[in-house]
A = this chain, B = another copy of it.
Amino acid sequence: MVQKPSIPKGTRDFSPTEMSRRNYIFDTIREVFRLYGFKQIETPAMENLSTLMGKYGEEGDKLLFKILNSGDFLSKADHSLIAAGDCVHLTPQLCEKGLRYDLTVPFARYVVQHRNDIQFPFKRFQIQPVWRADRPQKGRYREFYQCDADIIGSDSLVNEIELLQLIDEVFSRLKINITIKLNNRKVLAGIAELIGAPEKIVDITVAIDKIDKIGIENVNAELRERGLSEDSINTLQPILAIDGTIEQRIEKLSDILQNSEIGALGVKELQEVVAGVEALGLRATLDLDVSLARGLNYYTGTIIEVKAQDVQIGSITGGGRYDNLTGVFGLPNVSGVGISFGADRIYDVLNALDLYPAETTSATTIMFTNFGAAETAVAMKMIKQLRAAGISAEIYPETAKMKKQMGYADALNIPFVAIVGENEIAENKLMLKEMSTGSQQLLSIEETINRLK
């Protein structure tokens, strides 16, 4: 039976060219993680469903990919649930395992499971794919990579300063101009306190987020619609009107929140973080965004979001401080701060701006032609010497027509071709052809090594 091959929707194959580009991103992030002293871990693709379920909300539970139990999976199934067609309650009886949905929950599980072997503060990084049964659409995949760095077991703001520098370094190396938006969960708590409506904080941040698009009058109208009192809306006006440099904006926020203990603490943290990074120098643009609320129920302090300046796309990195990463697994009060690079969106940004260095498009430096057994034997000895010198080299494996061999080198962007025929062998040399110019030079293998290194 012949099958027309395809892959599951929302997943992707990566060709050699795509892999070179993706590796460029991953290698850059990994190198900076290491430069900053983060240590890599990996966790299994499959986790127990009990580890994953209930951690991402009801919607998240649905988006988990579940692994059908092996063998007689029906034996544990409640047949009344089958009869009722109750897939939701049947699933845990048919499946014990699921694919990881993010790197945060497996990391929390890892920390608790290995807490006796971990040296705290623990600076860990993790670069692995995650899987979500989301409806696939442009820029949203069912398998995608996350690149996370977290420091846990330390509530010092030094960690925030370090992570902001790290973000700056990664995007500076990738040549992507970014704006880093900052906020602090305590500032949001202070605002909620100020207007006496803590349950409205999400409505408020959603509305504030629209100021640039719809203007302050429409924001106020929306707040009214969402049930905020006129008093509350009036109290919010100075916050909506904040402008100036980031220092000036924090200063104004400080005035507004001076009577809220938690709000004032949030402002103080923001000030310390901003002063810390500015003293060290940042290439990125730093911005205060009091509407920034990412994962509100999760973060407890600093909130970070990164936007590319030159491409219209969602946030390409995000993170923040949390105070109870591992509580659900029985280890309370572990404070940490972390960031997550969205490799797939960064890939889209680099593609849109065509920012890949030239070397990411070629795998092999030099291809040797194949004119038959005798020539090949000589060529392979030369190739061995080139490889020993660290130069990637290959021989066209078949004794094909010259045109075909050259076409192969051309299609694969191999910059140099070595022609080894009768004449070259007689002189113990090779004819080095530079593909971009077509120029040819008769060289010894030593000269070739010097030329290509």
Contacts and interface: CB of A to CB of B under 8 A. Distances in A.
Interface of A: 1-8, 11-16, 19-20, 22-23, 34-48, 50-51, 62-63, 65-68, 70-75, 79, 82, 85, 87, 90-91, 94-97, 99, 109-110, 112-114, 117, 119, 121, 123-124, 129, 131, 133, 142-143, 151, 154, 156, 158-159, 161-162, 165, 169, 276, 279-281, 328-330, 363-364, 367, 370, 376-377, 380-381, 384, 387, 390-399, 408, 411-412
Contacts of A90: 74
Contacts of A142: 46
A395 B158 contact: yes
How many copies altogether?
Answer: 2
B363 A37 contact: yes
A1 B85 CA distance: 28
A67 B67 contact: yes
A73 to B, nearest CB: 6
B5 A37 contact: no
B50 A74 contact: no
A408 B51 CA distance: 30
B34 A363 contact: yes
Contacts of A280: 380-381, 384
Nearest to A7: B44
Given A72-B85, A95-B68, A47 B124 contact: no
A118 to B, nearest CB: 8
Contact of A82 (B39, B70, B74): B74
Contacts of A398: 121, 154, 156
B11 A40 contact: no
Given A14-B43, A68-B91, 18 more contacts: A1-B328, A2-B330, A3-B50, A3-B329, A4-B329, A6-B48, A8-B48, A19-B42, A34-B392, A37-B367, A39-B412, A45-B131, A62-B71, A74-B85, A94-B94, A119-B411, A121-B397, A158-B380
B133 A37 contact: no
B51 A412 contact: no
